[in-house]
């Protein structure tokens, strides 16, 4: 539905309006940052880009970013929420299992007009 594989066992957290007809979707994963980066490198068959060291953030962009029609480049972003001693991203579901996610996955699909096969 989102155009990207979701890491097995990842839990949907929320979706947000990104503007310009896009939404982004957050998923919590009970896996390490390194494991998720390796998973998405294999699934997407690309290296992606390590964009921030603090906190560690890795992006896999898919397709071309169009400033006039997009708020975010379509793709998958992995962020380490255990950096700097943090206990992880709080799970908003109660009762929560796990209580916190070490890693969060952000998926940004292409806007419908920019999706392959979409009518213009």
Has residue 119 been placed in a domain? no
Chain centroid to Cα 112, Å, comes to 18
Task: Report pLDDT digits (tens) over 19-47.
Answer: 777 888 999 999 999 999 999 999 999 99
DSSP state of 36: H
Has residue 5 been placed in a domain? no
Give me the number of domains the chain comprises.
Answer: 1
* Strand 56-61, strand 49-53: pairing: antiparallel
Omega of the bond leading into 95 within 30 degrees of 0 (cis): yes
Which residue range(s) make up the domain with 59?
A: 11-113
Question: What φ, ψ does residue 39 adopt, rounded to 5°?
Answer: -60, -50
Has residue 118 been placed in a domain? no
Q: How many angstroms separate the CA atoms of 55 and 53, rounded?
A: 5
Say what the pTM is.
0.84
Has residue 72 been placed in a domain? yes
Has residue 4 been placed in a domain? no
Residue with tokens 């294999």: 42
Has residue 120 been placed in a domain? no
Q: How many angstroms separate the CA atoms of 103 and 120, rounded?
A: 37
**pLDDT band for position 115 (cuts 50, 70, 90):** very low
């Amino acid at each position: 539905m989102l155009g990207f594989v979701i890491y097995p066992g990842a839990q949907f957290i929320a979706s947000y309006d990104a503007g310009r007809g896009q939404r982004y979707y957050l998923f919590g994963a009970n896996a390490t940052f390194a494991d998720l980066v390796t998973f998405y490198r294999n699934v997407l068959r690309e290296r992606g880009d390590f964009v921030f060291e603090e906190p560690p953030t890795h992006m896999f962009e898919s397709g071309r970013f169009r400033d006039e029609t997009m708020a975010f480049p379509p793709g998958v972003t992995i962020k380490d929420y255990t950096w700097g001693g943090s206990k992880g991203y709080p799970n908003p579901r109660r009762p929560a299992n796990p209580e916190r996610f070490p890693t969060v996955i952000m998926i940004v699909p292409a806007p419908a007009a920019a999706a392959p096969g979409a009518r213009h």
